[in-house]
Amino acid sequence: ERHATSKIRRAGDLERIGKLPPLPGARAETEAIAKVFTDRKATAKSLLGAEATEPSVFDLASKAKYLHFAGHGVAEEYAGQSLSMLVLSPPPHVLPADDGLLKLGDLFHSWRGRLASCRLVVLSACRTNVGPTLRDEAPQALPIGFLFAGAPAVISSLWAVDDASTKELMTDFYGRLLAGETDRLAAFTAARKALRAKYPDPFPWAPVLYMGAPE
């Protein structure tokens, strides 16, 4: 019965994400960040479109210093439990280890210890820090899963993010890191302040949060 329930839930997930609109801004953001790395003579590996399969992301994660996701984020809750997930490339055939979705449960189980070499995870998607809150603890959302998997810090969002301003924020942030700023939080804070100076309205810059160790 548990297997049948899992299959039904997975089918429902895939039906919902099949209706999500394409995100050309996410590709533009990824390509802009990759250019920042290459301009600084640093190595960047991009998984775009159909390349961003669950197994490919899982394999690359163990080697990455910075792990950046630009795409759809889904924040859902059922019976007090978080069903937060990132939408990756859907596989031709759904398998237990590859349904095209990176879920909070995956991070707690199959990703445990996977990010031991990673300095930072960036979740550049909508509502990636939204989830049920138990007592006074942090929301049970994707950042908690990435921290549990070994990442020392995670950047996430509280609401739907704007394509253009998020691209500016992220390219400025990585540019500061690659220019020699060793404090990740300082680089993020400076980039966020620069974006705020350009866009005083809080919508573009206020939802993006830093969680974890500063260095």
> For each of the chain's 215 residues, which pLDDT tens digit applies?
333 334 434 555 555 566 677 778 899 999 999 999 999 999 999 999 999 999 999 999 999 999 999 988 887 655 455 568 899 998 888 887 788 889 988 999 999 999 999 999 999 888 776 665 655 565 667 989 999 999 999 999 887 778 889 999 999 999 999 999 999 999 999 999 999 999 999 988 998 999 999 87
What pLDDT, on a 0 to 100 scale, did the predictor assign at position 77? 56
Q: Quote the crossing angle between the two packed helices 184-198 and 163-178, to the nearest 10°.
A: 140
What pLDDT, on a 0 to 100 scale, did the predictor assign at position 25? 84
What φ, ψ does residue 148 adopt, rounded to 5°?
A: -65, -35
What pLDDT, on a 0 to 100 scale, did the predictor assign at position 8? 38
Distance, CA of 79 to CA of 77 (rounded, Å): 7
Give SS3 for 122. Answer: strand
Provide the β-strand partners of residue 73: 86
**Which of 86, 44, 49, 85 has its CA nearest to residue 65?**
44
Question: Which residue carries 């993020």 as its tokens?
Answer: 188
Provide the β-strand partners of residue 204: none
What pLDDT, on a 0 to 100 scale, did the predictor assign at position 62? 95
Q: Which two tokens stand for residue 63?
A: 């080697």
Q: DSSP per residue over 190-215, as a string? A: HHHHHHHHH--SSTTTTTEEEEE---
Distance, CA of 122 to CA of 125 (rounded, Å): 9
Residues listed for the chain:
215
DSSP 96: T
What type of residue sits at position 14? L
Question: Which residue carries 């049920």 as its tokens?
Answer: 132
What pLDDT, on a 0 to 100 scale, did the predictor assign at position 201? 92
